[in-house]
């Protein structure tokens, strides 16, 4: 082979090696970028335990799956304080996805349905111990008992005046639990689509009810809720999309799981909660049921 040909061959080999090295470098840089992005996402992920309460009554005859005693709620508060947990609100989680910060061991306490006994017992304990909780009233009953003025720990619901007092304390946050969908209706539970119901009709029915509740909250409390709390945790395939379209920044379900909230706002939808029933100690509930670190 002549010297000129040797030179050209050598140049081609060098070019191939340079291209190979550049390709390897590109792959390595791309992999590093992916790893860095995943690390950043992981660093921003916070596990959020959420407790779901309903009624609080002194009468032992009513204690069970959905009714606990004031003493049990107080013991839960004392357990959380003793073990360094800080109660937060949905507003804190939303702010976190927008660049805000959370305490070291955050936890959410939520009350569904908006019973008067939440105001009578839970709110008093919240004020005593300076803890926060989320309450999700059913709009229809807030209207009903505001009009009647009836107060009974066993069955009435909090009035708009009582809800205003709670939210005005800075300790309680009100969220949307529908206006009148917390029941079995037309063969469907809660916010689910009825069997055979056309998609268009379902969308209109769901939108109408939830919008009516939003307007009632805005009119009576001066602020529309940011979060939708699913009645019974029930939903259909299209429900989450409609909830987002209605402007909610988050949603609470009834599936028992610890949800990881990241800087991504999408992580706020479908947050799991653990039902707090009567008859077990705070230690057993938080450590065995919820698997929290003491």
Q: What is the mean pLDDT of residues 73-80?
A: 98
**Please, is 104 exposed, middle or buried when counting C-beta atoms within 10 Å of its C-beta (0-12, 13-18, 19+)?**
exposed
The pLDDT value given to residue 10: 44
Residues 173 and 204 in one domain: yes
Lowest-pLDDT range, 103-112, 182-191, 238-247? 182-191
Residue listed under structure tokens 């090295």: 21
64 located within any domain: yes
Residues 26 and 89 in one domain: no
Q: Domain count for the chain, please give it.
A: 2
Strand ranges for the chain from DSSP E: 46-48, 50-53, 55-56, 67-68, 86-87, 106-113, 133-137, 172-174, 184-185, 188-189, 227-229, 250-252, 259-261, 274-275
Residues 208 and 237 in one domain: yes
Residues 18 and 105 in one domain: no
274 located within any domain: yes
Residues 102 and 8 in one domain: no
270 located within any domain: yes
186 located within any domain: yes
Residue of 39 and 270 predicted with greater confidence: 270
Residues 163 and 265 in one domain: yes
207 located within any domain: yes
Range of the structural domain that residue 36 is part of: 1-43
Token couple for 32: 């590093």
Q: What is the mean pLDDT of residues 214-241?
A: 98
Residues 6+ apart with CB under 8 A from 275: 52, 65, 66, 254, 256
Residues 135 and 278 in one domain: yes
Residues 199 and 229 in one domain: yes
294 located within any domain: no
Helix (H, G, I), strand (E, B) or coil at 158: coil
Residue 11 pLDDT more than 70?
A: no
Residues 17 and 110 in one domain: no
DSSP 76: H
CATH number at residue 202: 3.20.20.370
- Bridge-based pairing of strands 259-261 and 46-48 is antiparallel
Residues 151 and 210 in one domain: yes
The pLDDT value given to residue 191: 96
The pLDDT value given to residue 25: 40
Residue 291 pLDDT more than 70?
A: yes
Q: How confident is the model at residue 18 (pLDDT cuts 50, 70, 90)?
A: low
112 located within any domain: yes
Give bridge partners of residue 184 from the DSSP assignment.
189
39 located within any domain: yes
Residues 78 and 96 in one domain: yes
Residues 118 and 161 in one domain: yes
Separation between Cα atoms, residue 128 and residue 106, nearest integer Å: 19
């Amino acid at each position: 082979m002549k010297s000129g040909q040797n030179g050209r061959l050598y140049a081609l080999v060098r070019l191939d090696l340079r291209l190979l090295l550049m390709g390897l470098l590109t792959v390595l840089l791309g992999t590093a970028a992916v790893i860095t992005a995943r690390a950043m996402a992981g660093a921003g992920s916070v596990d959020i335990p959420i407790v779901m309460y309903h009624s609080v009554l002194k009468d032992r005859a009513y204690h069970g799956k959905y009714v606990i005693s004031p003493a049990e709620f107080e013991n839960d508060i004392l357990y959380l304080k003793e073990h360094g947990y800080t109660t937060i609100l949905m507003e804190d989680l939303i702010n976190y996805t927008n660049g805000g910060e959370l305490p070291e061991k955050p936890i959410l306490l939520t009350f569904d349905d908006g019973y008067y006994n939440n105001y009578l017992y839970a709110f008093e304990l919240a004020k005593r111990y300076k803890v926060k909780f989320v309450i999700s009233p059913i709009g229809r009953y807030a209207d009903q008992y505001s009009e009647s003025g009836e107060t009974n720990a066993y069955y009435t619901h909090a009035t708009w005046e009582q809800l205003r007092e709670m939210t005005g304390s800075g300790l309680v946050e009100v969220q949307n639990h529908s206006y009148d969908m917390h029941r079995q209706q037309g063969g469907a539970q809660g916010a689910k689509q009825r069997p055979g119901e056309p998609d268009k009709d379902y969308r209109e029915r769901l939108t109408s009810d939830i919008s009516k509740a939003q307007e009632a909250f805005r009119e009576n409390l001066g602020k529309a809720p940011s979060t939708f709390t699913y009645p019974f945790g029930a939903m259909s395939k299209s429900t989450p999309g409609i909830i987002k379209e209605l402007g909610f920044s988050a949603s609470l379900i009834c599936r028992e799981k610890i949800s990881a909230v990241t800087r991504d706002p999408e992580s706020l939808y479908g947050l799991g909660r653990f039902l707090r029933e009567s008859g077990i100690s705070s230690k057993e509930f938080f450590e065995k049921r919820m698997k929290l670190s003491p």
